[in-house]
């Protein structure tokens, strides 16, 4: 839209967002103008009571008209704004005809500045020009130099006020956009955090509870069939072990969400110690980001679970390598008593390595798995 036909923004025309000091100065200036006009009316010795009453009523009407002009221009209503402005200019000519030259001069000058500040330029320039020409030809000053300087000063003042208002309006718009962007960013971060929490809870509870359900259901069937006590007890112990593991994993997930997880190396050493596996750490050890560390833990846990389920007795070797901008975990199993099926599709609980691959990709990493030599290898790489 052309700058000549566009309105000043509502932020520029509104006084709500102005500093308190600036609002106070504006009110003081308006009070001084009205007080000066009222003093000029009351001090006019040549006016009788009737003329003074009419002049005071005209001053009150002018103040009301200025207030209405502010309201209409704030709402960008061209018709009512022009009607009020034209009525004020016409009133000034009537005042001039009744020899209220000072009052008329105040009205003309006010119309000139307000039109330039609050109307589109295509309307403001002619309206302000009309008011200033009327002032120059019919105003109180008989000195042409003073008149010219006053007209130039009012024109410049009106345009400067307009530029200042537009700059203030643009600042308010930028602040509003920044607040909206921050609110959207905060909402996005909150949604991402909720998704992360939901993913952790799902990963832990879906795996643990589904395994416990299987063991408990098997226990129920064994009891109904009158199975031996040792067989039933074995199932109960397995369900208890899964409950303990689920509780431990839940604590780890909560620790990850709080950002106070134990070092990855410490976790892996505990894991291999309980399973009789080997661990090799390469590179300069460092503290990993919470998400990266949690991904390493989850992949190691799931790979170890799959070995336990699908390749009992297999020898397991883990290698954790710290690189300049990433960390790699390599999990190898071989030599089991049964065919190894440690594939990404092996776990159907939604907690398997397929989920770990999705987690790695979300972090900008990758997870690969496939047969290697006499066993299976799972390799995770995540930025860290």
Three-state secondary structure readout of 100-150 = CHHHHHHHHHHHHHHHHHHCCHHHHHHHHHHHHHHHHHHCCCCCHHHHHHH
pLDDT at residue 318 in the model: 92
- Starting at the edge strand found earlier in the chain, the sheet holding 326-334 runs 278-282, 315-322, 326-334, 375-383, 366-372
pLDDT at residue 350 in the model: 39
What span, in angstroms and rounded, lies between the C-alpha atoms of 274 and 304?
11
Per DSSP, what are the bridge partners of residue 328?
Answer: 321, 381
pLDDT at residue 330 in the model: 92
**Hey, how many other C-beta atoms are within 10 angstroms of the C-beta on 359?**
23
pLDDT at residue 185 in the model: 81
**Hey, how many other C-beta atoms are within 10 angstroms of the C-beta on 153?**
11
What span, in angstroms and rounded, lies between the C-alpha atoms of 336 and 342?
12
Taking only the tens of pLDDT, the chain with its 384 residues reads: 577 878 887 777 777 666 677 667 767 777 777 777 677 666 654 666 776 776 777 778 878 888 888 888 888 888 888 888 888 888 888 777 767 777 778 788 888 888 888 888 888 888 888 888 888 887 666 677 777 887 888 888 878 888 877 887 788 778 888 888 888 887 787 677 677 667 666 666 766 777 778 778 888 888 888 877 888 888 888 788 777 777 777 776 666 666 656 678 888 888 888 778 889 999 888 888 877 888 888 888 888 878 877 777 788 899 999 988 899 999 988 765 544 444 444 443 434 667 778 878 888 899 988 887 778 889 999 998
Report the helix count and the strand count for the chain, using DSSP H and E. 12, 5
pLDDT at residue 327 in the model: 92
């Amino acid at each position: 839209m052309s700058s000549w036909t566009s309105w000043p923004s509502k932020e520029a025309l509104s006084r709500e967002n102005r500093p308190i000091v600036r609002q106070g100065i504006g009110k003081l200036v308006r009070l001084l103008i009205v007080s000066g006009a009222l003093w000029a009316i009351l001090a006019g010795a040549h006016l009788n009571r009737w003329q003074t009453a009419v002049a005071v009523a005209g001053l009150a009407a002018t103040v009301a008209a200025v207030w209405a002009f502010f309201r209409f221009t704030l709402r960008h209503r061209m018709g009512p704004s022009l009607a009020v402005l034209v009525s004020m200019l016409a009133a000034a000519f009537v005042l001039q005809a009744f020899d209220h030259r000072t009052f008329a001069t105040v009205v003309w000058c006010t119309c000139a500045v307000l039109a330039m500040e609050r109307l589109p330029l295509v309307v403001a320039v002619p309206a302000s020009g009309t008011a200033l020409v009327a002032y120059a030809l019919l105003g109180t000053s008989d000195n042409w130099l003073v008149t010219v300087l006053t007209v130039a000063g009012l024109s410049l003042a009106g345009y400067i006020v307009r530029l200042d208002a537009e700059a203030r309006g643009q600042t308010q718009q930028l602040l509003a956009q920044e607040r909206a962007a921050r609110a959207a960013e905060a909402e996005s971060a909150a949604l991402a955090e909720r998704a992360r929490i939901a993913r952790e809870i799902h990963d832990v509870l879906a795996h643990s509870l589904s395994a416990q359900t299987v063991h408990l259901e098997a226990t129920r069937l064994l009891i109904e069939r009158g199975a031996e006590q040792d067989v039933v007890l074995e199932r109960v112990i397995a369900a208890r072990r899964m409950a303990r593991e689920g509780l431990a994993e839940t604590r780890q997930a909560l620790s990850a969400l709080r950002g106070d997880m134990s070092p990855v190396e410490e976790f892996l050493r505990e894991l291999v110690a309980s399973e009789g596996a080997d661990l090799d750490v390469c590179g300069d050890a460092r503290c990993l980001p919470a998400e990266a560390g949690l991904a390493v833990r989850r992949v190691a846990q799931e790979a170890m679970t799959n070995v336990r389920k699908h390749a009992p007795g297999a020898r397991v070797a883990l290698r954790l390598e710290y690189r300049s901008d990433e960390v790699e975990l390599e999990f190898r199993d071989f030599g089991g008593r049964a065919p190894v099926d440690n594939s990404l599709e092996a776990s159907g609980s939604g907690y398997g390595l397929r989920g770990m691959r999705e987690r790695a990709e979300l972090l900008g990493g990758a997870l690969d798995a496939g047969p290697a030599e006499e066993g299976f290898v799972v390799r995770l790489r995540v930025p860290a």
